[in-house]
Chain A
Amino acid sequence: MSTLRRRFQPDQIREWITLLLIVLVLLFFGTQIDNYFSPRFFNRISTSVAIIAVVAVGQTLVFLTENFDLSVGSVVGFTAYFVGQQLSGNNDMAPGMAVLMAVGIGALLGSVNGLLVAYGRVPSIIVTLGTLAIYRTILVEYSDAQTVLTANLPEWILNLPRANIFSLGDLDLRLMVGVMIVVVIAAQLMLKYLPYGRRLYAIGSNAEAARNAGFPSQRIVFLAFVLCGSLAGLAGFMFLARFGNITVVAGLGIELASIAAVVVGGVSNLGGIGTAVGALLGAILIDVLENSLIRWLEISEFWRDALLGLLILLAVAADKVIMTRLRNLWAQRSELEVGSDGGELGTQEGGGHVA
């Protein structure tokens, strides 16, 4: 049996499929829209992806444990507003301090989710649906219908979105995109090389076995929510830097966008499958599609949410149909080969998700 095929089963090559889809989408629209491959388009996509991707990486950690975090949008909005207000009141605050504050608030809000889900044993969809509303309401009350205004913010944060790491002609690699890349790589390495990361997969893959093996499952799930909250907090800071003017509706809908990115990127809603890179690719694919479709069909921005919803449904359906089929195909071929050389212990047909 071919070693390559045995090791790289459909679930392992899922990221490549997303990448392939991105390339196909780009090629298609390249023929449809004039002057499609412009540096401006690249810069626009990369900056708008940055915030979603950071949230999606956090969402991935939670997804791996077979949970959701619907509150991320409210966390982004709350941290963006809160940090913005602090900065407006005190323009001398160190940039590092502001970032730390955003991440800290995010972690705090995430830990509330984590406590209730991991230790309170309340389903995450209920918990985070509740905190989605609660965090937003706290923001509304706290803000007293005021808006954080660009004019009151310190200079450095307003310059942040345009700060480049390097430029290649008209192509810019913005600092915010750099932050996103660091987050994705760090998460990817953690998932692959830290025992904690591996345990996230183990818990999502077979929760019962994990319990029997004596894993501290509760702590692992709790920490996933804290990390997700922290990343949402970081995204909140990025949001503040990008938009400057923060109202009470800031970050609304980011939960939908992040879940769409994660699901399109091949992270399984049943836990145990998915990577940070996959989530990033999912976010990119969605953003490219959105921007291109809106330009191509000349439809209004209001279609954005419908498009997101459609993509989520398509991705899940495609996963269900195509991946199951691929798995069966893989298994059958393996079996044939096992049949021919006898002694080896083979793979079985089907191989659905063992819950």
Chain B
Amino acid sequence: MEPVLETKHTSKRFDMTQALDDVSFALYPGEIHGLVGENGAGKSTLIKIMTGLYRPDQGEILLDGEPVQIPNPQKAQGFGIAAIYQEPMVYPDLNVAENIFISHRDFGPVVRWGKMYREADDILAKLDVKLDVRMPARGLTLAAQQTVEIAKALSLEVRVLIMDEPTASLSAHEVRQLFRIVRSLRDQGVAILFIGHRLEEVFEISDRVTVLRDGKWISSTPRDKVTSEQVIRDMVGREVDDWFAKGETERGELLMSVRNLGKEATFHDVSFDVSQGEVLGFAGLIGSRRTDVGLALFGVEPADTGEIVFEGKEHEIKSPEQALGLGIAYVPEDRRQLGLIMPMSIYTNISLPMLRRYLNGAGLVRQRKEIATAEEFQEKLSIRTPSVKADVDKLSGGNQQKVMLSKWLNADPKLLILDEPTRGIDVGAKAEVHHMINDLAAEGLGIILISSDLPEVLGMSDRILVMREGRQMGIFDRQEATQENVMTAAMGQSASRDGGQAATESQR
């Protein structure tokens, strides 16, 4: 049989990262093809190329064996390629039938509502779904919205349906419904590319499983010939780079201990200890809720159950001000949205959280003192800028990261929570950030390092807490934490015996 859609030697590069590297991949009609890989393995880039959102730097796309160009999403639709994302894109004020058709069919110069409703009913019947087509989409559950999007894809006479983590926010019952629909689409001859983070789901639904890693194609295997161990090995099989190694630091006194921390519908029963001079890594895939734990510890989104003991005293952390007062600082992942005020200068950004310290008797800001502080950090963290008066949006990603660190280090924290500190910065800057983490730990700071970069967590952390979908899967000591162990736990396969033991030990 001929593949309906094929990519040949496709490559795509963004600045410093090779997002896709010579990927050849084929999708056959009437198959459900699972696509797995770590964060950053290139899954999203691949589907964005297939749907016309990105154009490949190299390689070609074949539709029914013929080379084609897919310059935009409309063209992809024209070819019968549709994608459904985690967050469905419905029009809340239009009804179900309109949502299905509005992008591509008008039903005459004067809308024939009756005809539209009948056809929408037909399509939903094909999916074997009961949904009132006259009902406004506002207030539909995510699952129902997804069904509407699938119906839209069907009405386009879709031949390739790409589903990007469609189950991420569905309940178990809704997942079963979705799978039933997906299987019936396959039986009608549609080729389905299913991207998933829950390995057991991918195994349940897929006929074949393809693994990507670091932008490269690793394997494509029929499901009955592959084991989850093998897939996980394919996903992580990579050497840990040397410069990730954390230096030995003295583990000092217990700094913070967290017991059964939870937040409704977000995460629960998270328990761990952090000591001075220790780096505790938080590993997990997207949706594992690691960041939410960090936000709870910093009081941005306070937890609602469990206890936090900081320096021997129990605290209920309700606000960032309170957390800062205790000596907890949080360096967020998104520098642009959460961390830095881009059009402002470096020194004003650094002094901002501690502005009170810079006031003179009249309550005015002492600029000279601000600048002095900023210059101190410029030297200490080697921020590369002609002047601390420069605006932060003129800096490179790595230097912005350092400004953000300075801002929080200026608060003299005892515990530093770093959320994805090296995402989107280049290799050199990454190494510098790692050095800085080492130095800070050596100075006696406790550090929580949240990172999607598995080698980074493994290399930098003394211990690693693995989360999956809001649950703590285990805590691994440095010696026991291998890529396989950690990824197995993160993907929700039963943790290996070593890991399980480690978890109980460290929670004692």
From B77, B89, B130, B135, A206 is in contact (CB under 8 Å) with B89
Tell me whether B93 and A204 are in contact (CB under 8 A). yes
Name the residue of chain B whose CB is nearest to the CB of A1: B132
Tell me whether B102 and A194 are in contact (CB under 8 A). no
We find that the number of chain B residues with CB closer than 8 angstroms to chain A is: 36
Could you tell me the distance between the alpha carbons of A348 and B92 in the complex, rounded to whole angstroms?
Answer: 12
Could you tell me the distance between the alpha carbons of A12 and B137 in the complex, rounded to whole angstroms?
Answer: 12
Name the residue of chain A whose CB is nearest to the CB of B87: A354
Known: A7-B132, A195-B109, A213-B103. A347 touches B140 (CB 8 A): yes
Tell me whether B135 and A6 are in contact (CB under 8 A). yes
Could you tell me the distance between the alpha carbons of A194 and B110 in the complex, rounded to whole angstroms?
Answer: 5
In this assembly, does B115 line the interface, its C-beta being within 8 Å of a C-beta of chain A? no
Name the residue of chain A whose CB is nearest to the CB of B104: A213
- Measured between C-beta atoms, what is the minimum distance from A269 to chain B in Å? 13
Tell me whether B131 and A345 are in contact (CB under 8 A). yes
Tell me whether A214 and B92 are in contact (CB under 8 A). no
Could you tell me the distance between the alpha carbons of A206 and B106 in the complex, rounded to whole angstroms?
Answer: 18
Q: Could you give, for residues 1-38 of chain A, a 1 whenever the CB lies within 8 Å of some chain B CB and a 0 otherwise?
A: 00100110101100000000000000000000000000
- Measured between C-beta atoms, what is the minimum distance from A7 to chain B in Å? 5
In this assembly, does B351 line the interface, its C-beta being within 8 Å of a C-beta of chain A? no
Name the residue of chain A whose CB is nearest to the CB of B83: A212
In this assembly, does B16 line the interface, its C-beta being within 8 Å of a C-beta of chain A? no
When distances are taken between beta carbons in the complex, the residues of chain A under 8 Å from B104 are 213
When distances are taken between beta carbons in the complex, the residues of chain A under 8 Å from B126 are none
Name the residue of chain B whose CB is nearest to the CB of A211: B73
From A199, A215, A330, A351, B92 is in contact (CB under 8 Å) with A351
Kindly count the residue-residue contacts between A and B in the assembled complex, taking CB atoms under 8 Å apart.
104
In this assembly, does A39 line the interface, its C-beta being within 8 Å of a C-beta of chain B? no
- Measured between C-beta atoms, what is the minimum distance from A1 to chain B in Å? 8
Tell me whether B141 and A208 are in contact (CB under 8 A). no
Q: Could you give, for residues 92-122 of chain B, a 1 whenever the CB lies within 8 Å of some chain A CB and a 0 otherwise?
A: 1111001000111010011101000000000
- Measured between C-beta atoms, what is the minimum distance from A139 to chain B in Å? 37
Stretch in contact with the other chain, from B142-150, B339-347, B473-481, B485-493:
B142-150
A251-303 at interface with B (beta carbon < 8 Å): 272-273
B446-480 at interface with A (beta carbon < 8 Å): none
B49-104 at interface with A (beta carbon < 8 Å): 72-74, 77, 89-95, 98, 102-104
In this assembly, does B394 line the interface, its C-beta being within 8 Å of a C-beta of chain A? no
Tell me whether A327 and B129 are in contact (CB under 8 A). no
In this assembly, does B366 line the interface, its C-beta being within 8 Å of a C-beta of chain A? no
The 8 A-B pairs with the shortest beta carbon distances in the complex, nearest first, are A213-B103, A351-B139, A345-B144, A272-B93, A209-B89, A205-B91, A214-B74, A205-B93
16 A-B residue pairings within 8 Å (CB atoms): A199-B102, A205-B91, A205-B92, A206-B90, A206-B91, A208-B89, A210-B91, A213-B74, A214-B73, A214-B77, A215-B103, A327-B139, A347-B139, A347-B144, A348-B139, A351-B92
